[in-house]
Structure 1
Amino acid sequence: MEWDDLLRKHLGEFGRFQKFTSLLAILVGPTVGLTLVAMTFLAATPEHHCRVFGNTSSVGHRYSTEGYNLSIPLENIGGTWKYSSCLMYKNSNGTATSSNGTTSCTHGWEYDRTIYQSTIVTEYDLVCWRSWLKGLGQSTFMAGVGVGGIFFGIISDRFVF
């Protein structure tokens, strides 16, 4: 006896209910997949640096090498010297100088908005010492998916509507 014949004998034909269930699974599948990868785009971290001019925007000084040298220290990242994303020079007497040490960003951050206009990272400043919150959000979501899958899987097996 062939495998198909054995299945057909014990389970029956692939009927209307099985076709309907398969169609629903095919329609729901892509949306479930999109929710699992949504954080890639919703929580993207664009290039950023400290806002160094108080509450006013430093956009006009963004590409000024002199403004960077006076405000943001260089860091060796992977063998390349880049301006720090999380540190700025301490401010004394209204001017930032490299001789008075560094501190964390006191006025917030400025983000490169050429790719992403707004993400949860830019809205809630989830960079530097707060970057762990981005991973916590993804972990919480996945824990909810796991617990919900187990809970509603058991419920769906117990009750038939």
Structure 2
Amino acid sequence: MSADLRDPYRRQGVLHGRCLCGDVRITVDGDYIAAIGACHCIMCQRNNGVVFAAFEASADAVSATGPVRTYASSEFAERTFCGTCGSPLWLRDTKGTYASAYELMPGLFADAAAFPLISEIYHDRAPAYVTLAGDHRRMTRADYEQKNLHIEGDMR
């Protein structure tokens, strides 16, 4: 998400979340973006079963307790999940512009149900059964990959 899209949604405060089984508890205490970005790349589809959607929080605002497990899904990003129930928790870039932010799964946080969708990337890769409605920014695979770190090739 570009800074101009996120600016109206910048917030400070406390959000509490948990995984499906409750073994992992996540607290955001500080800066976050009260808006959702979605991704339809093949890696996100495989990791989440359909679409990836997340909101951002600064690294120093996020704390988690419980059996958090990490998987390096590329040389520039890692994905985390609950070691008990397998619930996806967050994606985090380890290199590049967003290396200091967490992309948290909104379904873990009751308060995030009110966050609007403001961007969708790889929208030309979305499965036929997923159409995200609304007036938000959409980027194709080619547009996104022109400006951002990505995995080369289609992983189908």
Higher helix share: 1
Give TM class, smaller chain: under 0.3
Higher strand share: 2
Larger Rg over CA atoms: 1
TM-score of the pair, normalised by structure 2: 0.19
TM-score of the pair, normalised by structure 1: 0.18
